[in-house]
């Protein structure tokens, strides 16, 4: 039997992506950094590296929400809104009632949004895409009402958030002190905890998980609440980084957070992937953004290019990894 076409290098790359997703990803990241160095000699420095990490961390944290929900075949498109609300509440309530209560209220609202998501998805069986978009819309409405009726006496950003968001120690961003334990915990949980395994199981075959005695609603409820909490904490970190409270603070991170997870090799259909790849995906996106910034394209053009790149890279990766 003769062969008409040998497997293309593209499909072989896809195979590699599925089997050992981290290697080609890291390769791609190194390649991008090399291109950046050629385009702008002298740009690479310890400072640049620290800065890239600093920008990538909130993105990577929101992408954790996408990774975990995507493992079950879901998605959480309310993360940007939750982060924004958590940041806005903290900044405006802190001068009124003090920092700890402000943060408590901020995180409580993140938990509530997560619970509502979880309830809708787990119990009412609403599709995660619709459910999370819906709660995001409603929550934004509440935020507008809040902004109107609570007269802010000013904005205060808690010192430790500033330290965490913008400070550096030994040249590295302080936010690593939050992110490293966070990443270790997520990666551990996805491989070595019962909950993590069940995310994969539900994504791979929900009916089979059910027949094995898994009450799928419990997992969904916990998962989306957890996702809300992660988004809320990310909002606090982001507040320290951006140093202003805005009504759309973290919204531009919604799409990139999904893209980071997809580029990182997590299947949008569930059952495959992991957080390790997502972190590299977030770094890749951040380096790409730097590149566009350095190319001195006006803001409008930059957004168009960034959107196009995210879409095409994501489409390419889906094509590569979802072939069978």
Partner 1 sequence: MPDAAAVLDATGVAKRFGAVVALKNASLQVAAGQVVALMGANGAGKSTFVKILTGVLKPDAGHVKIKGRDSTVASPAGARKWGLVPVYQEPSLIPDLSVADNLRLADTAIEPFRHWVAELGLPGLAPDAMIRSLPLASLRIVDLARALALEPAVLLLDELTAALPTDLVDRVLKVVRAQADGGRSVIYVSHRFNEIAAICDRATVLRDGLTVGDVKIEPGIEERIVEMMLGGAVAAAVSAERPVKPIPSETPRLRVRSLKTGTRLTDVSFDLHQGEVLGVVALEGQGQDELFDTLAGNRKPSAGTVQVDGAPKTFAHPADAIAAGLTLVPGDRAHALLMSRSVRENIAVPLLARVRNWGAIRMRDEAAKVDKAIDTLQIDTRALGEVRRLSGGNQQKVTIARWIAKGVQTLLLFDPTRGIDIRTKRQIYALVRDLADQGAAVLFYTSELAEIRLACDRAVVIFNGRVVDVIDARDADEATLMRAAYGLTEKAPA
CB of 205 closer than 8 Å to CB of 214: no
Per-residue binder mask for partner 1 (CB under 8 A), 138-177, x = binder: ----------------------------------------
**Count, residues in the chain:** 324
The answer to the question of residue 11 lying near partner 1 (CB under 8 A) is no
With contacts defined by CB under 8 A, name the span among 3-11, 24-32, 132-140, 243-251 that binds partner 1: 3-11
Nearer to partner 1 by C-beta: 191 or 303?
191
Phi, psi dihedrals of residue 169, rounded to the nearest 5°: -130, 135
Report the run of H or E that residue 135 belongs to, with start and end: helix 128-149
With contacts defined by CB under 8 A, name the span among 2-10, 111-119, 289-297, 313-321 that binds partner 1: 2-10
Nearer to partner 1 by C-beta: 109 or 190?
190
The answer to the question of residue 213 lying near partner 1 (CB under 8 A) is yes
Q: What are 273's two structure tokens?
A: 């992937």
How many CB atoms sit inside 10 A of residue 101's CB? 12
Residue 194, class by beta-carbon neighbours within 10 Å (0-12 exposed, 13-18 middle, 19+ buried)? exposed
The answer to the question of residue 220 lying near partner 1 (CB under 8 A) is no
With contacts defined by CB under 8 A, name the span among 163-171, 198-206, 254-262, 305-313 that binds partner 1: 198-206
Distances (CA, A) of 171 to 79, 106, 160: 30, 30, 18
Q: Contact with partner 1 (CB under 8 A): which of 204, 242, 305, 309?
A: 204
- Smallest gap, in angstroms, from Cβ of residue 240 to partner 1? 31
- DSSP codes joined into one string, 52-78: HHHHHHHHHHHHHHHHHHHHTT---TT
Binding site for partner 1 (CB under 8 A): 1-5, 7, 192-195, 197-198, 200-201, 204-205, 207-215, 218, 271-272
């Amino acid at each position: 039997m003769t062969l008409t076409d040998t497997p293309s290098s593209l499909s072989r790359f896809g195979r590699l992506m599925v089997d050992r997703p981290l290697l080609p990803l890291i390769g791609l990241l190194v390649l991008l950094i090399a291109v950046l160095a050629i385009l702008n000699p002298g740009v690479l420095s310890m400072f640049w590296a620290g800065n890239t990490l600093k920008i990538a961390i909130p993105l990577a944290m929101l992408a954790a929400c996408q990774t975990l929900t995507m493992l079950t075949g879901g998605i959480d498109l309310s993360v940007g809104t939750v982060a924004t609300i958590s940041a806005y509440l903290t900044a405006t309530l802190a001068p009124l009632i003090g920092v700890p209560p402000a943060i408590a209220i901020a995180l409580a609202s993140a938990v509530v949004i997560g619970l509502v998501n979880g309830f809708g998805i787990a119990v009412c069986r609403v599709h995660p895409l619709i459910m999370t978009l819906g709660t995001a819309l409603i929550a934004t409405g509440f935020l507008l009402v809040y902004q109107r009726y609570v007269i802010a006496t000013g904005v205060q950003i808690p010192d430790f958030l500033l330290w965490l968001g913008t400070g550096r120690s030994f040249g590295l961003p302080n936010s690593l002190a939050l992110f490293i334990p966070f990443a270790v915990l997520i990666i551990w949980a996805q491989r070595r905890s019962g909950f993590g395994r069940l995310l994969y199981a539900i994504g791979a075959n929900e009916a089979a998980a059910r027949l094995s005695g898994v009450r799928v609603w419990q997992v969904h409820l916990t998962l989306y609440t957890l996702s809300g909490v992660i988004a809320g904490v990310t909002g606090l970190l982001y507040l320290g980084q951006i140093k202003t409270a805005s009504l759309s603070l973290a919204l531009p991170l919604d799409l990139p957070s999904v893209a980071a997870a997809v580029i990182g090799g997590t299947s949008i259909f569930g059952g495959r992937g992991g957080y390790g790849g997502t972190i590299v995906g977030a770094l890749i996106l951040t380096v790409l953004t730097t590149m566009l910034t350095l190319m001195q394209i006006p803001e409008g053009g930059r957004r168009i290019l960034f959107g196009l790149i995210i879409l095409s890279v994501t489409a390419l990766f889906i094509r590569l990894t979802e072939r069978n």
